[in-house]
Structure 1
Amino acid sequence: MYKTISSRCSSLKFKHFGHKGYSLFSCLGKEVLIGTLSVATLSHAKAESVSTQPVKKDSLSMAGSKEVMLDEVNITGSRAPMTALQSAKIVSVITRDDINRAQAESVNDLLKMATGVDVRQRGGFGVQTDISINGGTFDQITILLNGINISNPQTGHNAADFPVNLNDIERIEVLEGASARLFGSSAFNGAINIVTRSDRQSDVRINAEGGSFGSVGGGASVALAGKNVHNQISSGYMRSDGGSDNSDFKKWHGFYQGDLASHYINLNWQFGLSSQDYGANTFYSAKYSNQYEETRRIIASVSGDIHNLPAGLVITPTVYWNRSTDHYQLIRFMEGDKAGENYHRDDVYGASVNAHISWLLGTTAIGADIRKEHIYSTALGELMGQSQWKSIHGTERMYNHEGERTNNSVFMEHDVVLDKFTLSAGILANKNTALSGGLRFYPGIDISYRPNYNWKLYASWNKALRMPTFTDLYMSNVIQQGDTKLNPEKNDTYKIGTRYRCKGIEAILSGFYSRGKDMIDWVFESNTSTKYHAMNIGTLNNIGYSADITLNIPELICETSYITKLKFGYAYIHQNHDTDQPIYKSLYALEYLKNKFTAEADHRIFSKLSAAWYIRWQQRMNGYSPYTKIDCKVQWTEPKYDLYVKMDNITNHRYYDLGGVLQPGFWIMVGGNLKIDL
């Protein structure tokens, strides 16, 4: 007699449960989708209880699973947890699903498709890459692994030497703009946080691949999940002859992480090792085409949160240690200081404690951080007395230079979250032992307004400072000359934007203005210069905007579609430089990315065979030619394994990202992943 008719194109997605007595009746005759996901904030992110897979794969994937996932997660740039919907910032997220589909061999390849991120590649397969945000340089961002700062004080060139591979990663979060009050003074132009996956079931994962230029690699991971304790260990190796002269490499990594959950405290720990040996071509000077470099890295940290305390207080302590070693030869196989061979070893020791509490007028967070940076070197730092020289493992040479500084920070932030409005304001008080004077203050404020679920408007202003790296201060050789009198960089960043989201469509439009003072660059001061000098080049203001739109085709047309996703992005930057000192050529800061366009398309070929296409066009200033690059990944997917073919630079276009290092033409990789449940 009576028949309930359910619309095939209509569904309800629970974002917030209603408190009315009749709320449940609004579900009658509808398909009901319930999705939840809990992850940590950008500043304290761990991979606990994280899943980028929908709760019910078929239904959620057809009804905007990404919306369900990203709206209710704590993934914001704030000291106290806030959901992405509540946040006063918009944080770009590369999800696990994005990583699975991507034609990428490294984290750096993934970041190339992020609209506001500039990736300047020297070596292939992520061997050495400079990463920057919104017209800044590679030294002006903070790199985090599970919320732990792993930035390198020697040089940002080595910052992207990660102890994890793509299969270890759950997601990558990108926060654009000055973020000193969140991550300390080093977050000058933004931050990138890599969050590793932490499986809640025991399994073994194996991957292997091989292809062009004699490239071969593989890895494995084991996850052991108990009732309250989870452990995961992974390792990987890759080698290649390289796609151009003197670009061969071999690299490996090992990574271990674990967590313990209890009623009052959750603990997280991680330990990582990485090693890279590679031909450095003309990496640092076009005059020397046979450079060589070896880098090693160790990272270790323990953090946790103490909860269920009186008045809802949550305390989060963290301790960490990072060690990086760098062996560089100006001419491969030529040893000794006179031949341009250098050794460096830097250690970073850090500890912090954060606390937040919610009360009538919002949530207040306070905390303190101490970070000590130390380097032994054959070139960087002050010359030590001969009795203090340190032996270099595996060689007869000695570290005879030393440098150190300590960064002390205290912060306070207050967040007010109302039904349609969020205000987040805070300040960082900082003192660095390398600078004279007392405390320096870096305030910031973020505001967002949500008139309804579809729209979000936001604006922010933040200040930051960046200390020169040890390379900026001390490097002295036949091609570079540092300056111990460099002033730290300073900037103010203003940002506005809006996000629109409806069924099948997500669009983000934002603009920024960054006002920089005492900016640091390596420059030729005249056309007769033979060395790049580190210099404060005056004021450097960047103004720009970006736009992103993502189309979920099955949602839009409400039926099974061979095309599943389309995404387009565009970024534009204009730079204004003012200085009293003559500059003939810039090596980094003035070679900004003026235009960048990206496009992605995912589609099924048949059954379980799919393809993902990536197009990137970009125009860099200061003598670089624009180029277009097309990549593709074809993949056969089964529940327990997948097989793939990755094709990079399909048009075989040779191009330059940085200096005179010619990038490879077309290359192809074939591989697969296998999962075994324990």
Structure 2
Amino acid sequence: MYKPTFNMKRQRLVFRHFGNKGYSLFSCLGREVVCSVLSVATLTYASAESVSTKPVVSDSVSTTTAREMMLDEVSVTGSRAPLTKSQAARMVTVLDRQDIAQAPVQSVNDLLKYAVGVDVRQRGPIGAQTDISIRGGTQDQIILLLNGINICDPQTGHNAMDLPVDLNDIVRIEVIEGPAGRIYGSSSLVGAVNIVTRSGNFGGTEVREYEGTRNDCAQIHAEIGSYGYGNVGFRYARTTAITLPPSSKITQSLSANYSRSDGYSRCKAGTLNTDYSGAKGFYQGQYEDEQLRLNWHLGIADKGWGSGTFYATPKWQADNQYEHTTKLYSAIQGETKRGRLHFAPSIYWNQNRDRYEGYRGEPEKMKYNYNRTDVYGVSMNAYFDWKAGRTAFGAEIRNEDLVSGNLGEPLSQTHHIAGTDRDYTLGVNRTNISGYLEHNLLLKNLTISAGLVAVKNTWSNMNMTVYPGIDISYRPTPSWKLHAAINTSLRMPSFTEMYYKLQGYKADPHLKPEEMTAIEAGGSYTRGNLSVGATAWYHHGRNMIDWIMDTSLGDDAVWQSVNHAKVNSIGFEANAKMQAKLFTNHYSLFTISYSYINQNKEQEANIVSQYALEYLRHKLIANAQVPIVEHLQLGLNLRWQDRVGQYTDFSGAILDYEPYALVDARLTWQQNSYKLYLEANNLLDKRYADFGLVEQPGRWLIAGFSFRL
């Protein structure tokens, strides 16, 4: 499913001179260039793994053979400054639009299961609640981004995947494995996930460039399935070309989605306890002319779900919990397109509201937990080219403010909780200041990308701390690419880790920041229809945060947040992709990926870990996309995983996690304007658990359609 390469149809560019500048070559990386009558391809192929090609803007002069264009940049997620795929030093895995359309999934959460280095632990299906981690980390140790904007919730990583976007909005998902501090700052301790959405029309429809031209496109989709599952949504996009300023255009899109399910289990009292319902809406726009590009988005995600035994313990055997979240996302991003020095400022505001019910609908038994987090951020990134390469620098200020009914310190002034007779009486506020510097040295077959991030957080009077990193890529032949890296990063503890103290949980407000140093090396080979790759890595974590329980305390045992002194991890990942013609003249695609992790932190006797000492030692993913007849395709996905760790059941017995294998399938009939499909998740009806006390559903059948207007 994850493709090492794909061939992109590039547009031929014509320009009259190189400008006699030392940095001119950067302007044509990733583009086919015509000098007079000589055609030169500067890049044999482009890959979706780490690049996104931004639109080319037309000049006011044109000829009958080709248009004179302003050369634009090719972005690379794995660095502060944009570089081409062939020059990039950092390895980035990307799931593109075709992969998303073919996968038998209903959420981004489910989609990430097919990334071999990503651990997806679900407490509920259809994206109800999911913890995402990378390379043996925890859900709080990765940074989640929406179009490059940090949308992490400092209250807790449990609800970080409450996204406002529908799968139809997403053009690709990028995964960076390993510390990414000098790229994304704090929170990116073990990796990053960037969700990139499309503001324009479906299929990349081009707009003719004269005033009044407008392209409109609409799409509707619907699904029904097991356990009362239903999903309906739409997306509308418009691109309009205008003449003032010259060669400018505005692109906008709007999407909305509603889904629900009765759930797959009931509590002891006989009522539903894993039901789900949620709605989301997302608006995105872009303005672009010859000088600059502006992007903006506004999104909302509102959902509630029966939380069954999500946070139950042997001491607190609640099986009818409930949670409701409302999240708002907004951002404006700019980018200059001309001049030697390029600027890319951004400003954003995200708000997260959470209501947790320990006993569903019974506040008299346990007061509901109310939390509201407001995150404000502003950043400025810039880069320039000179004879020694490309240098990038920037800074970000991010303020995180929590008001709560049970987390934080007493507030000097309380705030009313809307819709209730209660007030927010507690809170925490902290500001993170980051500065970045990176330089990229590009030679014929070698790229060296080195940089650092300097971080200061107002929490606990943290001093300014520097975290450096370096990535090296060597390309001995067009088919081979070797890479190595040493990177460092940090993560501030979440507000929940610092202050949660209810029903069997005891937090520590004096937790130290987590720190990570990582080393990795690997290589990839691509030739014809075969691609293979492998990477080995080592992580050294300091002050790692986890919730642990000392079962020897019996009835007095509680979950406590602590800093583990050190956790050392080693891992290995390998993948292969092959295309071949089988039953038809169309190519079938086969991929297989494997990941191995070992952590050598010695676990004390009677200590049970909730996160950091539970990781996937083995994970194997195999995928086949097989055309059966014209327009009909079968997709099969196998996922086998073996988790290290233990959990305590309600009787007090300590049990090991059992390995399990799941098979998902999707049969799709695809035409130009519509698509019909049948899906089966957990086709073999395997009973399993990602968390010990939360059993996942068996076979789940879904039928759906998508229609484009």
Q: Return the offset for 1:19.
A: 8.2
Letter aligned with residue 256 of structure 2: S
Instruction: Answer yes or no: is 1:673 the counterpart of 2:674.
Output: no
Question: In the TM superposition, what whole-angstrom CA distance separates every residue of 1:180-210 from its partner, at most 9, and x where no partner exists?
Answer: 0110111000000000123244200100010
Instruction: Give 1:239's aligned amino acid.
Output: R
Q: 2:347 aligns with which of 311, 316, 319?
A: 319
1:371 aligns to what?
398
1:441-471 per-position Cα deviation (integer Å, ceiling 9, x unaligned): 0000000000111000000011111111000
Instruction: Give the partner amino acid of 2:415.
Output: K
Q: Output the TM-score relative to the length of structure 1.
A: 0.89
* Greater share of strand: 2
State the 1:479 CA deviation.
Answer: 2.1
How far apart in 2 are the matches of 1:38 and 1:301?
28
Root-mean-square deviation (CA), in Å? 2.4
Partner of 1:359: 386
Distance in 1 between the 2:89 and 2:491 partners? 24
Aligned to 1:381: 408
Is 1:344 the equivalent of 2:344?
Answer: no
* Alignment match, 1:299: 329
| Match of residue 629 from structure 1 | 662
Aligned residue for 1:225?
Answer: 239
Q: Deviations over 1:459-518 (max 9, x none)?
A: 001111111100000001012111011111111011111011110011110011000011
CA distance in 1, matches of 2:367, 2:127: 25
Shift of 1:419: 1.4
Q: Match of 1:240? A: 261
Deviation at 1:282, TM superposition (A): 0.9
Percentage of identical aligned residues: 41
Tell me the distance in 1 between the aligned counterparts of 2:50 and 2:336.
16
Residue 15 of structure 2 corresponds to none
Change (3 A) 1:334 1:511: same
**CA–CA separation in structure 1 for the residues paired with 2:577 and 2:615:** 26
User: Which secondary structure state, in structure 2, belongs to the residue aligned with residue 98 of structure 1?
Assistant: helix
Which residues in structure 2 correspond to 1:492-507 (within 5 Å)?
492-507=517-532
Distance 1:171 1:140 in 2: 22
- Which whole-Å CA distance do the structure 1 matches of 2:232 and 2:45 have between them? 33
With over 3 angstroms needed to count, the CA separation of the structure-2 counterparts of 1:636 and 1:518, relative to structure 1, is same
Following TM superposition, by how much is the alpha carbon of 1:243 offset from its aligned partner in structure 2, in angstroms? 2.0
Per the alignment, residue 98 of structure 1 pairs with: 99
Q: Deviations over 1:316-350 (max 9, x none)?
A: 100000000000011111115x6142000001000
Q: Cα gap change, 1:122/1:505 in structure 2, threshold over 3 Å: closer, same or farther?
A: same
Aligned to 2:284: 257
The answer (yes or no) to whether the contact 2:638–2:663 under 8 Å persists in 1 is yes
Distance across 2 between alignment mates of 1:185 and 1:211: 40
Find the residue that maps to 1:486 and give its secondary structure: coil
Q: Deviations over 1:229-279 (max 9, x none)?
A: 000000000000012231101011000000000222210000000011100
> Which residue is equivalent to 2:224?
210
Measure, in 1, the Cα distance between the counterparts of 2:411 and 2:330. Answer: 29
Partner of 2:623: 600
Inter-CA distance 48–283: structure 2 relative to 1 (3 Å threshold): farther
CA drift of 1:36 comes to 8.3
* Partner SS, residue 624 of structure 2: strand
1:147 aligns with 2:148: yes
Unaligned 5+ runs, structure 1: 1-10, 27-31, 51-71
Alpha-carbon shift at residue 109 of structure 1 (Å)? 1.0
Say which SS state the counterpart of residue 600 (structure 1) adopts.
strand
CA contact (8 A) 1:352 1:369 kept: yes
**Residue 571 in 1 paired to residue 590 in 2?**
no
Q: Whole-Å Cα distance in 2 between the matches of residues 38 and 647 of structure 1?
A: 31
Q: 1:525 deviation in Å?
A: 2.5
In structure 2, the partner of 1:276 is: 303
Equivalent residue letter for 2:348: Y
* Amino acid in structure 2 at the alignment position of 1:89: R
The separation in 2 between residues aligned to 1:345 and 1:12, in whole angstroms, is 44
Shift of 1:38: 10
Kindly indicate whether residue 357 of structure 2 is the aligned counterpart of residue 329 of structure 1. Answer: yes
**Equivalent residue letter for 2:699:** F
Contact preservation (8 Å) 1:39, 1:75? no
Structure 2 runs not aligned, ≥5 long: 1-6, 11-29, 57-72, 202-214, 242-248, 267-272, 646-655
Q: Which runs of 4 or more aligned residues in structure 1 lie more than 4 Å from their structure 2 counterparts after TM superposition? A: 11-24, 34-42, 47-50, 559-563
Equivalence for 1:29 = none
Partner of 1:59: none
Query: What displacement does 1:20 show?
Result: 10
Is the Cα contact below 8 Å between 2:551 and 2:557 reproduced in 1? no
Please tell me whether residue 420 in structure 1 is matched to residue 445 in structure 2: yes
Give a deviation string over 1:33-78, Cα, whole Å, max 9, x none. x998799978xx8x9649xxxxxxxxxxxxxxxxxxxxx9533310
In 1, Cα distance between equivalents of 2:563 and 2:261: 39
CA contact 1:132–1:140 (8 Å) conserved in 2: yes
Q: 1:266 to 1:13 in 2, by over 3 A?
A: closer
Measure how far apart 1:285 and its partner are: 1.5
Alpha-carbon displacement from aligned partner over 1:509-535 (angstroms, at most 9, x marks no partner): 001100001110000024324320001
Matching residue's letter, 1:347: D
Tell me the equivalent position of 2:111: 110
Aligned counterpart, 1:591? 614
Q: Kindly provide the CA deviation profile for residues 560-604 of structure 1, in whole angstroms up to 9, marking residues without a partner as x.
A: 54661000000000101157x766100111111100000000111
Q: Deviations over 1:69-105 (max 9, x none)?
A: xxx9533310110112210011001010001111011
Q: Partner of 1:199 in structure 2?
A: 200
SS at 1:112's partner residue? helix
Aligned mates of 1:503, 1:41 — CA distance in 2: 20
CA distance in structure 2 between the aligned counterparts of 1:472 and 1:673, rounded to whole angstroms: 42
Task: State the 1:384 CA deviation.
Answer: 2.1
Structure 2 distance, partners of 1:125, 1:477, is: 28
Deviations 1:263-303 (A, max 9, x none): 22210000000011100011111411110000010000000
Classify 1:434/1:578 alpha carbon distance in 2 versus 1 (closer, same or farther; 3 Å): farther
Match of 2:652 in 1: none
Contact kept in structure 1, 2:584 and 2:628, CA below 8 Å: no
Partners in 2 of 1:224 and 1:535 — Cα distance?
51
Give the conservation status (yes or no) of the 8 Å contact 1:416–1:424. Answer: yes
Residues 547 and 198 of structure 1: CA distance in aligned 2, closer, same or farther (over 3 Å): same
Counting matched residue pairs gives 626
Is the Cα contact below 8 Å between 1:139 and 1:155 reproduced in 2?
A: yes
Mapped partners of 2:492, 2:114: distance in 1: 29
Query: Is 1:482–2:510 an aligned residue pair?
Result: no
Deviations 1:111-133, CA, capped at 9 Å, x for gaps: 10101000001111011000000
Residue 430 (structure 2) pairs with residue 444 (structure 1): no
Amino acid across the alignment from 2:193: I
> Kindly tell me: are residues 122 and 414 of structure 1, through their superposed partners in 2, closer, same or farther at Cα, counting changes over 3 Å?
same
CA distance, structure 1, for counterparts of residue 32 and residue 130 of structure 2: 45
CA–CA distance in structure 1, aligned partners of residues 568 and 47 of structure 2: 38
Contact 1:283 1:659 in 2 (8 A): no
Q: 1:662 aligns with which of 680, 688, 695?
A: 695
1:69-88 counterparts in 2 under 5 A?
74-88=75-89
- Closer, same or farther: CA 266–276 of 1 in aligned 2, 3 Å: same
Q: Does 1:520 find its partner at 2:545?
A: yes
Partner secondary structure for residue 632 of structure 1 = strand
CA distance in 2, matches of 1:329, 1:394: 15
1:535 to 562, 568, 579: 562
